[in-house]
Amino acid sequence: MSKIIDYPSASDELLVLNAQKGDTRAFEELVARHRDKLYARAFSMVRNEDEAVDLSQEAWVKGWQRLKQFQGEASFLTWMTRIVINLCLDHLRKQKRLRTDSIEQLDEDSGGVERLLPVVTTNPTEGLERAELRERIDRALDQLSYAHRTVLVLHEFERLEYKEVAKRMGCSIGTVMSRLFYARRKMAGLLAGLREGRKP
């Protein structure tokens, strides 16, 4: 006889075990718990509400289909986040948003312009309330290109190493380092409000 589960209070591990046996109610609870985080990750990459909803939904369907492959090496949320990231990267590739074919973009990749920018000597975020800081960071992220934002999201928010970012984005480690450098310098300028009047 199977145990009766109190879904809202059950741990992720227990819910995953039950979902792996075909319990959709357990999976529904996992979706309810982590849907905001997955959506936020998708949004941070594609910057479009409808696309982010669709991609996070697709990630949950794929998660269910591949659930038997989940062995618990990482947390369930980390595993699901990797799925949504891969879907977002595929989506951006299909839309050619990750391409860097303009002269300006190539210059950004090599860090040409940003290397000449004056260094921000003061901490641009000092004294800011956390909510305000988060808003400001989000607005600044919006001004980066898809390629630079993606590197920043994967490295800073997902804590992936250079080689892992390079593998996922299909580029060299050198490109990742250049893009990350550019993205950070630009973020510093944007957060400090130094970019006013300049073309993003």
Partner 1 sequence: MNPETQLKLQAWLDGELPPDEVPAVARLAETDRDAAALVAELRHTMAALANNELERPLPESREFFWSKVERGILAGERLATGRSRPLGLSSWLRFLAPAGIVAALAIVLFTPIFGVHRGANLAALEEIESPLADVSLTTFRSESEQMTVVWVNLH
Assess 187 for contact with partner 1 (CB under 8 A).
Answer: yes
Query: Between residues 70 and 157, which has the closer beta carbon with respect to partner 1?
Result: 157
How far apart, in Å, are the Cα atoms of 194 and each of 64, 82, 189? 46, 34, 5
Assess 44 for contact with partner 1 (CB under 8 A).
Answer: yes
Q: Residue 148 in contact with residue 183, Cβ under 8 Å?
A: yes
- In terms of C-beta density within 10 A (0-12 exposed, 13-18 middle, 19 or more buried), how is residue 89 classed? middle
Q: Residue 68 in contact with residue 112, Cβ under 8 Å?
A: no
Assess 85 for contact with partner 1 (CB under 8 A).
Answer: no
Assess 77 for contact with partner 1 (CB under 8 A).
Answer: no
Q: How far is the CB of 187 from partner 1 (least distance, A)?
A: 5
Token digits for 131?
């909510």
Tell me the DSSP string of 78-119.
HHHHHHHHHHHHHHHHHTTTT---SHHHHHHHHTTTGGGSPP
Q: How far is the CB of 27 from partner 1 (least distance, A)?
A: 8
Assess 49 for contact with partner 1 (CB under 8 A).
Answer: yes
Query: Between residues 7 and 96, which has the closer beta carbon with respect to partner 1?
Result: 7
Question: Which chain residues interact with partner 1 by CB under 8 A?
Answer: 24, 28, 31-32, 35-36, 39-40, 43-44, 49, 53, 56-58, 60-61, 64-65, 110-111, 115, 119-121, 123-125, 130, 133-135, 137-138, 152, 155-157, 161-162, 177-178, 180-181, 184-185, 187-188, 191
